[in-house]
């Protein structure tokens, strides 16, 4: 993380820098957040870091653990399930509706998909932002302001989930293959196919990420059990 210039809104700027690191996955779920280390890396005192952590805790991005102190809020199976249940219905609806439209110009989104495929091939961190922009562009193209506002209300959760998903080994290219197929079906004016592909895309991502979280939890449990045997 880059060092921060001092200003009157220093705690907000520290919070923004930490927020970006969490969204990129640099500060992963469950990661311990040490005030001294962050203050040193950002070139500030501990006070704005402490205030920034309070801001992020209110946003649900940071939690205070009784034993470990401040940690990045974990991604849970329940959060993944709830978010993707919402997204599956909405993504299907949006894709079906857009496939019936003839008044939308798709050139910009085709360019975005091409950029996303390139970012996946090079494992570039920008693919997280491009993934979010792809789905947001579809919501906005529908022209339903309420729907767009609802999904933007889940922006923080979506950024964290997308960051975790694209880090699954070998999955990034598949994500953009699926995006390409969804857009192709929309542009071909095939509502049923577009909606089915959009729903399958979110269901697959949910299953992949849930599987990864369950595996990580089993590994942690096994490690803790092994430690308990050593200390017994």
Give phi and psi for 30, each to the nearest 5: 85, -5
In the prediction, which pLDDT does 165 show? 83
123, with CB counted inside 10 A (0-12, 13-18, 19+), is exposed
- CATH number of the domain to which 92 belongs: 1.20.120.530
Q: Are 110 and 183 in contact (CB under 8 A)?
A: yes
Regarding whether 205 and 96 lie in a shared domain, the answer is yes
Regarding whether 196 and 91 lie in a shared domain, the answer is yes
Residue from 165, 156, 167 nearest 62 by CA: 156
Q: Which residues contact 85 (CB under 8 A, 6 or more apart)?
A: none
In the prediction, which pLDDT does 14 show? 92
- CATH number of the domain to which 46 belongs: 1.10.10.10
Is 42 inside any structural domain?
yes
Whole-model pTM? Answer: 0.79
Last residue in a domain, options 23, 38, 72: 72
Is 3 inside any structural domain?
no
d(CA 127, CA 177): 13
In the prediction, which pLDDT does 68 show? 74
Is 199 inside any structural domain?
yes
Last residue in a domain, options 72, 91, 124: 72
Residue from 81, 77, 82 nearest 214 by CA: 77
In the prediction, which pLDDT does 29 show? 85
Q: Residue 75 carries which DSSP code?
A: P
In the prediction, which pLDDT does 59 show? 86
Regarding whether 191 and 96 lie in a shared domain, the answer is yes
In the prediction, which pLDDT does 215 show? 81
Total domains present in the chain = 2
Q: Which residues of the chain are modeled with pLDDT < 50?
A: 224-225, 227-232
> How far, CA to CA in Å, does 123 sit from each of 28, 126, 144?
17, 9, 33
Regarding whether 93 and 48 lie in a shared domain, the answer is no
In the prediction, which pLDDT does 221 show? 55
Give residue-wise pLDDT tens across range 82-97: 999 999 999 999 999 9
Is 29 inside any structural domain?
yes
Regarding whether 100 and 41 lie in a shared domain, the answer is no
Regarding whether 210 and 114 lie in a shared domain, the answer is yes
Regarding whether 156 and 47 lie in a shared domain, the answer is no
Domain range for 204 is: 77-218
Is 5 inside any structural domain?
no
């Amino acid at each position: 993380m880059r060092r921060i210039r001092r200003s009157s809104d220093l705690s907000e700027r520290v919070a923004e820098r930490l927020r970006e690191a969490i969204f990129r996955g640099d500060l992963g779920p469950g990661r311990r957040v040490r005030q001294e280390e962050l203050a040193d890396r950002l070139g500030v005192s501990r006070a704005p870091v402490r205030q920034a952590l309070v801001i992020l805790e209110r946003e649900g991005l940071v939690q205070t653990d009784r034993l470990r102190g401040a940690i990045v809020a974990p991604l849970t199976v329940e959060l993944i399930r709830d978010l993707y249940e919402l997204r599956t219905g909405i993504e299907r609806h949006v894709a079906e509706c857009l496939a019936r439209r003839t008044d939308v110009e798709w050139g910009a989104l085709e360019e975005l998909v091409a950029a996303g495929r390139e970012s996946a091939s090079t494992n570039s961190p920008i693919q997280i932002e491009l993934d979010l922009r792809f789905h947001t562009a579809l919501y906005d193209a529908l022209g339903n302001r309420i729907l767009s506002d609802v999904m933007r209300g889940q922006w923080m959760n979506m950024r964290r989930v997308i960051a975790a998903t694209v880090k699954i080994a070998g999955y990034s290219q598949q994500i953009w293959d699926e995006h390409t197929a969804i857009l192709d079906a929309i542009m071909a004016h095939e509502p049923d196919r577009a909606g089915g592909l959009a729903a399958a895309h979110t269901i697959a991502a949910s299953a992949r990420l849930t599987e990864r979280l369950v595996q990580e939890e089993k590994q942690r449990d096994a490690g803790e059990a092994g430690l308990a045997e050593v200390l017994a």
